[in-house]
Structure 1
Amino acid sequence: MMLLTLLVLLALDRVTMLSPAWQLDNLLAKLPPQVQRPAFAWPVLLAMLIALALVLDAILLALPGILAWPIGVLLLWVCLDSTEIRQQYRRMLNAFTRGDLEAADICSECLEQPLTSAQYSGRERTLMALLWANYRHYCAVLFFYVVGGVGPALAYGLLRYWHEQEVAEARKLIKLVDWLPVRFTALGFAFVGHYSRAMPKYLEGLLRHPNDNEDYLGEVAMAAEEVDCSDPCSEKPSLYMVALAKRNLLFFLALVAALILFGLLV
Structure 2
Amino acid sequence: MSLISLLIALGAERHLSSPIWQFNFYYQHYLRLFNRISWINSSKSSASDNDGETATSSVIANTLFIAIPVVACYLIIEALDNSLLYLIVSTLVLIVCFGCIQTRNCYKQYLLAAFRGEPTTCELHHLQLLQDKNLMDMGFGQSLVWLNYRYFIAIMIFFVLFGAPGALAYRLLTKITEQNNTAVESDDIGSDLNKDVAADIQRSELPHAHNQAISVFSQKILFWLDWLPVRAVAFCYMLVGHFSKAMPVWLDDVFNIEKLPHVLLVDVAEASEDFMIEQGDCTAEPCLLVRLAKRTLLLCLAVIALLILTGVLS
Please give the TM-score of this superposition, normalised by the length of structure 1: 0.87
| Distance in 1, Cα, partners of 2:279 & 2:105 | 23
Change (3 A) 1:116 1:86: closer
3-state DSSP of counterpart to 2:288:
helix
Change (3 A) 1:162 1:210: farther
CA contact (8 A) 2:161 2:313 kept: no
Residue number in structure 2 paired with 1:57:
74
| 1:85-107 deviation per Cα after TM superposition (whole angstroms, max 9, x unaligned) | 11111111111112122222222
| Distance in 2, Cα, partners of 1:82 & 1:51 | 23
**What is the aligned residue count?**
260
CA contact (8 A) 1:50 1:152 kept: no
Residue number in structure 1 paired with 2:161:
147
| Distance in 2, Cα, partners of 1:152 & 1:7 | 18
3-state DSSP of counterpart to 1:231:
coil
Q: Are residue 225 (structure 1) and residue 244 (structure 2) matched?
A: no
Q: Spell out the pairing of 1:100-179 with structure 2 (5 A cutoff).
A: 100-113=118-131, 114=133, 116-118=135-137, 120=138, 125-166=139-180, 167-168=214-215, 169-179=217-227
Gaps of 5+ in 2: 45-54, 181-213
- The residue type paired with residue 180 of structure 1 is L
Residue number in structure 1 paired with 2:295:
247
| 1:189-243 deviation per Cα after TM superposition (whole angstroms, max 9, x unaligned) | 1111111111221121112235611111111001011333443334122111111
| Distance in 1, Cα, partners of 2:30 & 2:156 | 25
3-state DSSP of counterpart to 1:30:
helix
Change (3 A) 1:115 1:58: same
Please give the TM-score of this superposition, normalised by the length of structure 2: 0.74
Change (3 A) 1:35 1:173: farther
Residue number in structure 2 paired with 1:74:
92
Q: Are residue 28 (structure 1) and residue 76 (structure 2) matched?
A: no
| Distance in 2, Cα, partners of 1:115 & 1:165 | 8
- Structure number with bigger Rg: 2
Structure 1 position 155, deviation (Å): 0.5
Structure 1 position 249, deviation (Å): 1.0
Gaps of 5+ in 1: none
| Distance in 1, Cα, partners of 2:34 & 2:280 | 41
Change (3 A) 1:47 1:148: farther
